[in-house]
Amino acid sequence: MEHIRNLIKLAITCLFLFRNNYLIQVCATTTPSDATTLQTLLKGWQITSLNWNDGDPCGSQWQGVTCDQSTNTQVITLTLSGVGLQGVISPDIGNLSNLLALDLSFNPNLTGPLPNGLGKLSKLQTLNLQSCSFIGSIPAEIGSLKGLRSLTLNRNQLSGEIPPSLGKLTNVTLFDLSENKLSSIIPVSSGNNENVGLDNLTLATSLYLQNNSLSGALPLEICYLPNLVNLFLNGNNLSGSLPSDISQLQAIQILKLNENEFEGKIPVELNNLTTLYQLDLGGNRFNGTIPNLSNLQQLKLLRLSMNKFQPQLVPKWIGNLSMLQTLELNGDHFAGNVPFQLFNLPSLETLSLDGNRLNGTLTINSVANSLYYVSLQDNNIVNVTGLNLSNPISISLTGNPLCSNMSYDLVAKACSTMNIFSSWKATLTSCNISCGKDMALGLDCTCSFPLMFLVQFSAPSFSTINFSRINNLRVSLANHLMVSISGIWIGSANFTQDYQLVVDVHIFPYGSISFTQKKVADIMNQLSLQSFLLDEFGPYQIKSVILPPSTIYMAPTKKKSISTNGLIGVWVGVAAGLFILIGVSMYALWQKRRADKAEVTGKFFASWGPVPESGDTVQIKGARHFSILELKRATNNFSNSKEIGSGGYGKVYKGALPTGQVIAIKRAQAGSLQGTAEFKNEIELLSRVHHKNLVNLLGFCCDKGEQMLVYEYMPNGTLREHIFDHIEALTWQKRLEIALGSAKGLAYLHDLADPAIIHRDIKSANILLDEKFIAKVADFGLSKLAPVGERAHADGHISTQVKGTLGYLDPEYYMTQKLTEKSDVYSFGVVLLELITARPPIEKGAYIVRLMRDAWIEGDMVKVKSLLDPSLGSYSMRDMESLLNLSLCLVEESAVLRPSMSEVVRVLEKILSRISSSKTDDNHPAWAQNDGSRNHANDLYNDLGALSSSMEASFRFSRGFDMSAKDEPK
């Protein structure tokens, strides 16, 4: 059978070689080497939607192929952006010796290593391979392309070092290697014998290296690039001090060094960069005091949050930066009063000073018209003057003493949590028109095929998006792309957690139902190469593209005629092959259907290594791949009647498989708060851990742009629903059992998973309950693997951007960005307090941790009782005190004073075992007084005896118990 299959394949190959070669010989105009190279590329791309099997490349106008105008024989551009290429780039691509532009961007299934043959394209001016899935290292041979003006390899999975030879690209203006997995240092000419490095890029205006894993110091040589306007190094592991030579960047406008490990003092020489309009140094380890930067009069954004500055006053010189739109100084140890001048800055829109030590009275007597958001959460402000209900600004003082005063008449206005980043969503048109397949309704109520893309603005100077800005963006796009403004529709605009703005844009053709293929290529070329700036929105990247269906396939074109004998020869060969094709078509179709599932999924998860060979289903470490058709059938096409929940990621549906198994499907929606990274992360982690108190991931779906996760169905929903919606009353014992089950799941992640896993988003909404009310921890989208070996810090922490849910966040993690297992412990402590109080973590500006701790330390049992859930039922005083004291140990501000989850499990087991062994102590009324025969202090001490010595110290402090006392504590 295997021999027969091989003979059939050989016959089919010969047939197509005969046909294509004969056509080229009969009507060829393209240089033979170019034509052969294009055919070789096509074989590696596994795509049939191109018209590359008909005629001659230049003579038949092959899609994406442009030939020289003079002779029409040499291929000079190859532009196949977003056409669905799959597979790899053949090394033979270097034979296209006259190529001026190569654009294979936005083909996410185009993978494999970049071939060294790219270095042979000596005439190349544009190399655009962004937003694909290329792996491996960047070929050093690319440095041979001396005429290159634009290099965009961003948004791939490239790894290894940046080749110093790229410094030979002295004509490059746009240099973008961002969002890859590149490591090592930034190469400069002083670091190698060839004296080449990125400091040789003297014509570069934009150097984008953000979101990689680059390490080492910022080289002095980079600071002398004379034309550099945008320097993006954020999201790496760069360290050391910031050199004073940074002041030599005399053309710089945007400097993003945030989310690194820079330390030392901020050099005062930054004050010389008078062209600067964005400065972001947040998330580093800068110390000392902030220098005077009052010369930066063009500054629109200043972000210095989460550094290690010494306690200081908020600099008054900031009040002179008249162009400033966004000021963010969170977690920087500022003390004293908030300067009233800040509220009068004429352009300021957002002011954020969270997590500092600001105190006294906040004075807001006059406010600039531009000011939208003021966030001063978690400070020590005791009073506010000048604020009233008619004041248009949104302000949050949550976590300040002022908000603990329930009699404060502006609690509702000033003491609620707030997201300082606004969002935009368009209102759908009211036209009563139904459009055909793949068509959309434009603003002028006509149906057509739009070009759709997500554009990600990497450094907007504002955090407020409104109609005026949306309209300005439409006008700017229309002018630069030379399309009608009435054809530009913006569906949504949302800020990400790392301060980027993602905008959904549809461009409709004007006066026709579709763009020409040339117009689409022209628009994509301008957008991909950032050939223009979009006003105040700043630099951008195209995140994803959906081309109009009518432009993916090439319409038939008039070809040169060939002789009758030539036609006869061609079709005789075709007829001969037809008999063979009929014999194997069914077999091939069956094999293809089996392979398609594995191919799509395997390429989507290429970064995880090889995917197992395909069968009826694909397994990724035990998680099955579902087709979208299977999940549609399971949910009656995602019927509203099947919807059982929703959130920032999208919706959750209940479904049933043909086997009868009931499942829950989490389906991400466009613009979801959970991106591809979180989607993959959850699959990666849940498919490698198995425990009865962790939700069971059955599989996933990544077909046709969808992102769906399939879990075991949990009929009793989330713990949060039971606490706050009172779906079913939870007894005291049931609450303890749920707490114990959740703790066991977390303890498994911390102590038994290899490597350990930090969940990072523990909350009552992420604890699910099965039919027996067994608790299972869910939602691993934000989870992190604990570092091991050389990557592990001495104290076991991970330095990472702060993520999680407000109210559950570990304050030490928030302040230091050092994530440990103890961050989960803190969040679990908040869940325990929710469980017994039925109160959210933050309610009307009051923080349940602070309220409970104050009442507990004061020993005010009446106040403590008033905070508890009235529906708790009966419980023993001893058990409640044990659980309360444990909860407050978990939410200690210092991580070293918190127990491990394994210790928490032991304490909860002890409390539950006491309930099981003797019901008599548990049946007297809540908070009933004992007869004096039991020493509660010693009982509590014994209950917590499993904890470490640091926990014991915390326990004694929390209630002021004298362990030698014989009487009941007061």
Catalytic residues, which ones?
761
DSSP assignment, residue 895?
G
Rounded Cα–Cα distance for residues 232 and 212 (Å): 11
Q: Which residue has the tokens 């007061």?
A: 970
Tell me the one-letter amino acid at 270: L
Taking residue 910's Cβ as centre, other Cβ atoms within 10 Å add up to: 16
Rounded Cα–Cα distance for residues 300 and 283 (Å): 19
Q: Are 290 and 315 in contact (CB under 8 A)?
A: yes
Rounded Cα–Cα distance for residues 522 and 26 (Å): 32
* C-alpha distance from residue 556 to each of 30, 42, 449, 876 (Å): 19, 19, 19, 83
Residue 558 burial by Cβ neighbours in a 10 Å radius (0-12, 13-18, 19+)? exposed
Q: What is the tally of helices (H) and strands (E) in the chain?
A: 19, 50
- Identify the CA nearest to 497 among candidates 178, 804, 799: 804
Question: What does residue 548 show for φ and ψ, rounded to 5 degrees?
Answer: -60, 135
Rounded Cα–Cα distance for residues 447 and 174 (Å): 37
Rounded Cα–Cα distance for residues 54 and 346 (Å): 63
Q: Are 424 and 493 in contact (CB under 8 A)?
A: yes
Residue 414 burial by Cβ neighbours in a 10 Å radius (0-12, 13-18, 19+)? buried
553 CB-near residues (< 8 Å, 6+ apart):
49, 51, 63
Question: What does residue 97 show for φ and ψ, rounded to 5 degrees?
Answer: -65, -15
Rounded Cα–Cα distance for residues 813 and 810 (Å): 5
Alpha carbon dihedral 144, 150, 153, 154, in 10-degree steps, equals 150
End-to-end CA distance of the chain: 88
- Identify the CA nearest to 644 among candidates 618, 663, 669, 672: 663
Q: Kind of pairing, strands 447-448 and 440-441?
A: antiparallel
Rounded Cα–Cα distance for residues 876 and 916 (Å): 13
- Identify the CA nearest to 178 among candidates 242, 114, 110, 230: 230
Rounded Cα–Cα distance for residues 576 and 12 (Å): 10
902 CB-near residues (< 8 Å, 6+ apart):
747, 750, 751
DSSP assignment, residue 660?
S
Rounded Cα–Cα distance for residues 117 and 808 (Å): 52
Q: Which residue has the tokens 């993978």?
A: 111
Rounded Cα–Cα distance for residues 423 and 963 (Å): 55
Rounded Cα–Cα distance for residues 320 and 304 (Å): 17
Give DSSP secondary structure letters for 907-937.
HHHHHHHHHHH-STTTSSPTTPPP-S-S-HH
SS3 state at 424: strand
Question: What does residue 425 show for φ and ψ, rounded to 5 degrees?
Answer: -140, 130
Q: Are 142 and 118 in contact (CB under 8 A)?
A: yes
